[in-house]
Amino acid sequence: MYRKSIVRRPPGETAYLPANLHPVLRRVYAARHINAADELEHGLEHLLPYASLRGIEQAVDLLLAALRDQRRLLIVADFDADGATSCALAVRALRLMGARDVHYVVPNRFRYGYGLTPEIVAVAAQFQPDVLITVDNGISSLEGVAAARARGMQVLVTDHHLAGATLPEADAIVNPNQPGDAFPSKCLAGVGVIFYLMLALRARLREEHWFTRSSIPEPNLAQLLDLVALGTVADVVPLDHNNRILVSQGLGRIRAGRVSAGLRALLDVAGRSPERIVAADLGFAVGPRLNAAGRLEDMSLGIECLLSDDATAARAMAQRLDELNKARRAIETQMQEEALAGLQQLSLDDDGSLPHGLCLYEAHWHQGVIGIVASRVKDRLHRPVIAFAPAGDGVVKGSARSVPGLHIRDALDAVAARHPHLLNKFGGHAMAAGLSLSEEHYAEFSAAFDEEVRRHLAPEDLRGVVYSDGELAGRDLGLEFAETLRAAGPWGQSFPEPLFDGHFEIVQRRIVGERHMKLVVKPVDDERLVDAIAFNCEPETWSAEMQRARMAYKLDVNDYRGQRSAQLVVEHWEQG
């Protein structure tokens, strides 16, 4: 049922990598197309310069005038972790540079939906802003920008999402993915875009002797890199060299204790030690807790946590975010079980019976969790999935997740072109998108989406592939090399953490936490015993009859009650 196969990554060119690297690391880096030693350098001096970002000079001009006149600034944020970190960074940076009247508003996803809509402009107008600044949204907000300018507001759009055929008529737009932009990296998250804008603003203020004349200490914007790292990892943007620098620098500051009170509190409630944090901790422990506010209630709670400089207040907010995340997990589990149960009617034993592009909908599903459900089902069935939930007034909202080979936003664009009456609105990236449509059009859209996906993906594309970096020798299955791998990142989207495969004898097995299989295994050609764990598995797949298994695994460090040891985190297994 939905078989996966282990495929070893083809070898890459290692001639230009440092000779003193561990041989396995040379192999791993080469397979990720690192063919120059400087691509492993993570110092801030290697960051791409901001000058080639289209519109950045106009944006700086606007902000400089606003600071000189102490105009009222209002940030309009998105309701995910990237939006929250972008908002917190913008507020902190602008205040550090002398802005005394900075506020923010974040849309409630259930009432207003995504982006700078005219309805959000009406809410924003209550603050009487002179300048409205979007973070992590706005590039498709034609009506919202027009509404804001009609009310006399200047509008600065900062975003990283793909632009549509028409750009909003804002006073300035900074987005590396807008047409004509020459910035070499198109992978910045929203928080990366606003960080670059703040760097450019500080440089201009320095040239104008603003800090001296205003008796303001020139801020070290590196103090905000913890937020940049969190937003970048949580938004699952590709970790190209530039993003790896941003994430690496943020992680380094966190490990050194130079971390905001809110992020420290979130790490604490997640049970993560700041001193040993890696990128995966931001993605799988901190990000979901921050996102829980936007998914179930209001992201203002998450933003306030990130803005807090009071450890006690930040801890209280982090605990509330942790509670929301537990509630989110319970809702997600139920929705996922319902989705998979519904698919049983389509005969799960026959891959060909399922649509290539799969749409799921239940009238009682929660809007805030459909994205996670789509992701989970996509991972299990290895095909593009859109999960829908009711949004009121006969409208359903969908969250889409894709697989390699299908650009999901382009697919939605093609559906909209062929069937102009189906989609109310849509937007997103190559691998994730959001959309809305009338409930009465759901069945027709589902068929049209499947038809579009079939244009791009053949049946063989729907087989899951587990890409391996090859075998590890028994001597490398210890704590020392596990620590080396952890330090060799940051790992993340498009720069995946090393995954290895090998044949093992199963010495011991037991279920822990209801759905996790704890193992002791032994390489077939070695006598050493190694701990292993398979998370969220179906226990029956580890039957007592299976004495040997080929496993695809990550070599990780298990930190339990202060004792650190090597552990294999099993991603895929098959008998043999």
CATH of domain 350-464: 3.10.310.30
Measured on CA atoms in the order 443, 448, 454, 456, is the torsion positive or negative? negative
Averaged pLDDT, 332-356: 73
Whether 147 shows a pLDDT value over 90: the answer reads yes
99 Cβ contact partners less than 8 Å away, ≥ 6 residues apart: 66, 67, 70, 73
CB 386 within 8 A of CB 407: no
Strands (E), 9-130: 73-76, 102-105
Can you give the C-alpha Rg of the chain in angstroms? 24
Residue 492 — very low, low, confident or very high, per pLDDT cuts 50/70/90?
very high
| pLDDT 10s digits, 281-313 | 999 999 999 999 888 888 999 999 999 999 999
Task: Return the pLDDT at 349.
Answer: 45
State residue 16's pLDDT score. 87
Q: HEC states along 438-481? A: EHHHHHHHHHHHHHHHHHHCCHHHHCEEEEECCCCCHHHCCHHH
CB 301 within 8 A of CB 325: no
Cα–Cα dist 365/362, whole Å: 5
The whole-number average pLDDT for the span 90-110 is 92
**What is the number of helices (H) and of strands (E) in the chain?**
18, 17
Using pLDDT thresholds of 50, 70 and 90, give the confidence band for residue 3: low
What is the predicted pLDDT for the residue at 110? Answer: 67
| CATH code for residues 4-31+469-575 | 2.40.50.460
pLDDT at 330 over 60: yes
Q: How confident is the model at residue 241 (pLDDT cuts 50, 70, 90)?
A: very high
Determine the angle formed by the axes of helices 261-269 and 311-343, rounding to 10 degrees.
50
Task: State both tokens at 181.
Answer: 């932009």
Question: Does 350-464 match 4-31+469-575 at the fold level?
Answer: no
Q: Where are the beta strands (DSSP E) in 121-273?
A: 131-135, 154-158, 172-174
Q: Are 188 and 48 in contact (CB under 8 A)?
A: no
Contact between 344 and 357 (Cβ < 8 Å): no
Domain 51-322, CATH among 3.90.1640.30, 2.40.30.10, 3.90.550.10, 3.30.365.10: 3.90.1640.30
Beta-carbon contacts of residue 215 (< 8 Å; ≥ 6 apart): none
Q: Domain segments of the chain: what residues?
A: 4-31+469-575, 51-322, 350-464
Instruction: Report the distance separating Cα 451 and Cα 438, nearest Å.
Output: 19
State mean pLDDT over 159-178: 94
Q: pLDDT tens across 13-58, in order?
A: 888 899 899 999 999 999 999 988 999 999 999 999 999 999 999 9
For residue 515, the model assigns a pLDDT of 81
Band of residue 351 on the pLDDT scale cut at 50, 70, 90: low
Average pLDDT along the chain:
92
Whole-prediction pTM value?
0.90
The answer on pLDDT for 113 being more than 70 is no
Taking the C-alpha atoms of residue 397 and residue 369, their distance in angstroms, rounded to an integer, is: 11
Interval 506-515: pLDDT, tens:
999 998 887 8
pLDDT at 502 over 70: yes
Above pLDDT 70, what percent of the chain?
Answer: 97
> What pLDDT score does 346 carry?
59
Residues 401-426 have a mean pLDDT of 93
Q: Is residue 1 over pLDDT 70?
A: no
